[in-house]
Amino acid sequence: MALIAILFVVPVRADASPARVAALQAALSGLHLYAGYVDGIDGPLTHRAVTALQRRRGLSVDGIAGPQTRKALGWRGTPGLGSRVMRAGDRGWDVAALQFLLQRAGHGPGRADGLFGPLTRAAVERAQEAAGIGIDGLAGAATLAALRGGSGSGSELVSAPSGPVRFLRPVPGPIGDGFGAPRSGHLHTGVDFPVPYGTRVGAAGVGTTIYAGYNYGGYGNLVVIQHRLGYTTWYAHLSSIATAVGAQVEGGTLVGYVGSTGNSTGPHLHFEVRRYDTPIDPVPLLLTALAARPAGTGSGQAAGECAGRARHEASKRPQGSDRIARERLCPTSPQPASR
Ligand SMILES: [Zn+2]
């Protein structure tokens, strides 16, 4: 009997849906126990972080995020997804899970930290608009069902349009430095297009601008676009930015102009593709076609809260490089990347 009870108490691991794993990762990340990506994949890093937490709190060390472990996560471990209607100002496990679902469906907010702020609200509204349900910025059952594919059954594998993700080239011309090229202290996280100063940069595909401003981690003037299925594209070192947070873009929509801001030795476009915030080699995903749409086809509607705050920031801070800047997107005050 005791054995049966144990079997049925086994939590998160047994039905480790990606959203639950993501909420767990976000919580562990917030406690500085997990340095990996919030990708919803229950891998060795996640397991190690759970056991570290359990050891630290004197819990039985089984690597499973059960009730005691969830409790040890503090506000980050509760409440469960779907137990309440989430709204701006809320925080917790369910918010992190929601953010992961939003990101996977291509609505942002850029990262899952368990805090329901303006970017999350804007992402919820985009998801509601896309799903054709009432746009109120409140994440309740209908919104969650839409993000999970409308089945409401908890199936989370059908939330977004399927099919291969391919990207248009943001600028013409060949690629210079490739993905993974050695840099001082790290590997190149994108590809470089050596094109002249002022070359127009087009969005690589349909999506939403989730960052448009100066990045102190080395990217300089940076635009990040959220696409479906958890992909983001990054356009760095821009001389100027021509989009704003919340803008809906499509392939070829003007997002900025090539420059040399940030840690850059000369005009070029640093282009990055990330899946769940993990940089990947863009080349296999690039179409040969250029994003050649005429300028200004985005709706240009800004979500407001931080759109273009640092857009005209011109100062160059010689630090970092094209390294991964693990900073909060759209910060209230830009901070240097911590790693
Ligand atoms: Zn680069």
Its sign, for the CA torsion 11, 84, 115, 275, is positive
209 and 135 assigned to the same domain: no
For residues 204 and 275, the model is more confident at 204
| Same-domain check for residues 130 and 231 | no
pLDDT for position 39: 82
Which residues, at least 6 apart from 229, have a Cβ–Cβ distance to it below 8 Å?
A: 104, 106, 160, 165, 275
Q: How far is the CA of 323 from the centre of ligand 1 (A)?
A: 9
pTM: 0.56
Q: Find the 247 Cα to ligand 1 centroid distance in Å.
A: 25
For the chain, percent of residues with pLDDT exceeding 70 = 76
Instruction: Tell me: pLDDT of 146 over 70.
Output: yes
Average pLDDT over residues 120-141: 90
CA 264 to centroid of ligand 1, rounded, Å: 8
The vertex-22 CA angle with 9 and 140, nearest 5°, equals 85
pLDDT of residue 184: 78
Rounded to whole angstroms, the Cα distance separating 315 from 267 reads 16
In a domain, residue 71? The reply is yes
Centre of ligand 1 from the C-alpha of residue 172, in Å = 16
CATH number of the CATH domain containing 57: 1.10.101.10
Distance 235 CA to ligand 1 centre (A): 10
| 290 and 171 part of one domain | yes
Cα distances (Å, whole numbers) of residue 275 to 40, 124, 176, 225: 11, 20, 22, 12
Task: List Cα–Cα distances, 284 to 161, 191, 249, in angstroms.
Answer: 20, 12, 22
Q: Is residue 4 part of a domain?
A: no
> Does one domain contain both 68 and 15?
yes
**Residue 153 placed within a domain:** no
Say how many Å lie between the CA of residue 173 and the centre of ligand 1. Answer: 15
337 touches 216 (CB < 8 A)? yes
Cα 272 to averaged position of ligand 1 atoms, centre (Å): 8
pLDDT at 254: 97
Tell how far the Cα of 111 is from the centroid of ligand 1, in angstroms: 22
Q: Tell how strand 200-202 and strand 254-257 pair up.
A: antiparallel
Residue 163 has a pLDDT of 57
CA of 177 to the centre of ligand 1 (A): 7
pLDDT of res. 159: 37
**Residue 213 has what pLDDT?**
93
Kindly report, residue by residue over 159-189, the tens digit of the pLDDT: 344 456 899 999 998 899 999 988 877 889 9
CA dist., res. 88 & res. 216, Å (int): 27
Secondary structure (3-state) at 125: helix
Q: Which of 52-61, 151-160, 247-256 has the lowest mean pLDDT?
A: 151-160
Say if residue 321's pLDDT is above 80: no
Same domain, 171 and 289: yes
Cα 112 to middle of ligand 1, angstroms? 25
Distance of CA 243 from the midpoint of ligand 1 (Å): 21
Q: For residue 180, give the CATH number of its domain.
A: 2.70.70.10
Would you tell me the crossing angle of helices 118-131 and 93-104 to the nearest 10 degrees? 50
How far, in Å, from the CA of 208 to the mean position of ligand 1? 22
Task: With respect to residue 329, please indicate whether it lies within any of the assigned structural domains.
Answer: yes
Examine residue 208 and state whether it is found in any structural domain, yes or no. yes
How many Å lie between the centroid of ligand 1 and the Cα of residue 238? 12
Domain boundary among 147, 181, 211: 147
Q: Most confidently modeled of 25-39, 194-208, 319-333?
A: 194-208
Whether residue 156 has pLDDT greater than 60? no
Q: What is the pLDDT of residues 70-119, one digit of tens each?
A: 999 999 999 999 999 999 999 999 999 999 999 888 787 777 899 999 88
pLDDT of residue 278: 84
Question: Packing angle between helix 44-56 and helix 18-30, nearest 10 degrees?
Answer: 50
Q: Do 200 and 291 reside in the same domain of the chain?
A: yes
Cα 267 to averaged position of ligand 1 atoms, centre (Å): 11
- Tell me the CA–centroid distance for residue 261 and ligand 1, in Å: 12
Whether 254 and 177 map to the same domain: the answer is yes
Show which of 85, 118, 147 is a domain's final residue. 147
Average of per-residue pLDDT across 290-306:
40
Q: How many domains does the chain have?
A: 2
Please indicate whether residue 126 or residue 303 has the higher confidence score (pLDDT): 126
Q: How far is the CA of 279 from the centre of ligand 1 (A)?
A: 12
Band of pLDDT at residue 276, cut at 50, 70 and 90: confident
Q: Kindly indicate the confidence band of residue 16, based on its pLDDT and cuts at 50, 70 and 90.
A: low
Closest CA to 51 of 35, 62, 67: 62
Average pLDDT taken over every residue of the chain: 78
**Is pLDDT at 287 greater than 70 in this prediction?**
yes
CA of 181 to the centre of ligand 1 (A): 9
| 334 shares a domain with 214 | yes
The CA-atom distances, in angstroms, between 163 and each of 158, 160, 166 are 11, 10, 9
Domain co-membership, 116 together with 190:
no
- The domain boundary residue, chosen from 122, 147, 172: 147
Q: From ligand 1's centre to the CA of 269, what distance in Å?
A: 7
When pLDDT is cut at 50, 70 and 90, the band that residue 36 belongs to is: confident
3 assigned to some structural domain: no
Cα(302) to centroid of ligand 1, in Å?
A: 28
Ordered alpha helix ranges (H), the chain: 2-9, 18-30, 44-56, 67-72, 93-104, 118-131, 141-147
79 prior amide bond cis, ω within 30: yes
Domain annotation covers residue 97: yes
* Mean pLDDT, range 50-79, rounded to an integer: 93
* 199 and 334 in a common domain: yes
142 Cα: distance to centroid of ligand 1 (angstroms): 41
Kindly state the average pLDDT of the residues 286-309: 46
Across 57-71, average pLDDT? 91
Task: Say if residue 63 is in the same domain as residue 22.
Answer: yes
Q: 9-23, 96-110, 236-250: which has the minimum mean pLDDT?
A: 9-23
Distance from residue 192's CA to the centre of ligand 1 (Å): 5
How far, in Å, from the CA of 220 to the mean position of ligand 1? 11
Span from the CA of 263 to the centroid of ligand 1 (angstroms): 9
| Average pLDDT over every residue of 218-230 | 92
pLDDT for residue 291? 63
CA dist 64 → 12, 204, 286 (Å): 7, 40, 39
Instruction: Say whether both 201 and 310 belong to one domain.
Output: yes
| Position 6 in a domain | no
Q: How confident is the model at residue 200 (pLDDT cuts 50, 70, 90)?
A: very high
Q: Are 304 and 199 in contact (CB under 8 A)?
A: no
Mean pLDDT lowest among 45-54, 303-312, 322-331: 303-312
Please state the rounded mean pLDDT for residues 262-281.
Answer: 92
Instruction: Find the mean pLDDT for residues 127-133.
Output: 88
| Domain range for 95 | 11-147
